[in-house]
Structure 1
């Protein structure tokens, strides 16, 4: 019964301490359990149990390091709107399978409105994007139209959810 409860946690099930833990981990997931426990006023074992419960419930999906794109020659941000030629399950499935292999593709979302998908890519510069476009994007299956938007200046980028 206890495991079933943990697996079905929602935002409304979280107390102030759970929310505080999540906010702190969003800011710096490399914080030690000892330091985290001190910040949320719990013993280290109690804090670790809460973090493990949040992980098991799927509220903490993954712990990662956020890399600096410019330092890794991936400073160009490209947003791409994609329109498919047909709206069939097979067309969507083929496109979604192929887009998984596009170099530098960070995100791909099914959207409403003018496009079927919006993709977010990182690449080095115009030349590398042109090569990516010619070698990969033009060959995505089922695509009728691609509209490209180059990011000029980042105003906001965050991974933090407002909890």
Structure 2
């Protein structure tokens, strides 16, 4: 267990669970929901944020409502796996808005990307920009989602 995990108490866990369900609560609402005073709640949320436990608070957008109907899970294998070449590829995909997540993985491919685009022509354009023009990309294997049966952002705390 990490040092931060060991320092989380029941109040922190209740706050984190409540925020993961709905981060739009006011401090007063959150305090009432987790059964602590408002000053305690405010201090705890601030502390969890400063310690990096809460990375950020965002709105989750429905992809189909904004024209991003195609989800692709893409495996990438590089020719050269030296640390600087891995970082170089990560920097390329970091600048691409359609790449929602990028993971270094082992064994198998070097990276797995989660990509959200409008349609197949948009995926082809992205693949050309990121993969075919990048000299260190050896292999690309893409899987296209036909149905999302589960999507969750909560982490058990």
Q: 2: distance between equivalents of 1:25 and 1:150?
A: 31
Question: What 5-or-longer segments of structure 1 have no aligned partner?
Answer: 1-7
TM-score, normalised relative to structure 2: 0.92
Match in the other structure for 1:20? 14
What is the alpha-carbon distance in structure 2 between the residues aligned to residue 89 and residue 14 of structure 1? 34
Secondary structure in structure 1 of the residue aligned to 2:25:
coil
Tell whether 2:153 aligns with 1:159. Answer: yes
Residues 92 and 130 in structure 2, CA contact (< 8 A), matched pair in contact too: no
> Which among 105, 119, 128 is matched to residue 125 of structure 1?
119
Residues 75-105 of structure 1 deviation map (CA, whole Å, 9 limit, x = unaligned): 2100110010012123212211211223401
Q: Which runs of 4+ in 1 moved over 6 A?
A: none
Query: Would the alpha carbon gap of residues 54 and 9 (structure 1) be closer, same or farther in structure 2, given more than 3 Å must change?
Result: farther
Instruction: Name which of 68, 71, 76 aligns with 1:82.
Output: 76
Farther-moved stretch of structure 1 (25-34 vs 9-18): 9-18
Of 23-32 and 125-134, more deviation after overlay is shown by 125-134
TM-score by length of 1: 0.89
Among candidates 62, 66, 71, match of residue 68 of structure 1: 62
Task: Please tell me the root mean square deviation across aligned C-alpha atoms, in Å.
Answer: 1.5
How many aligned positions are there?
Answer: 156
Give the match's secondary structure for 1:107. strand
Aligned to 1:127, the other structure's residue is in SS state helix
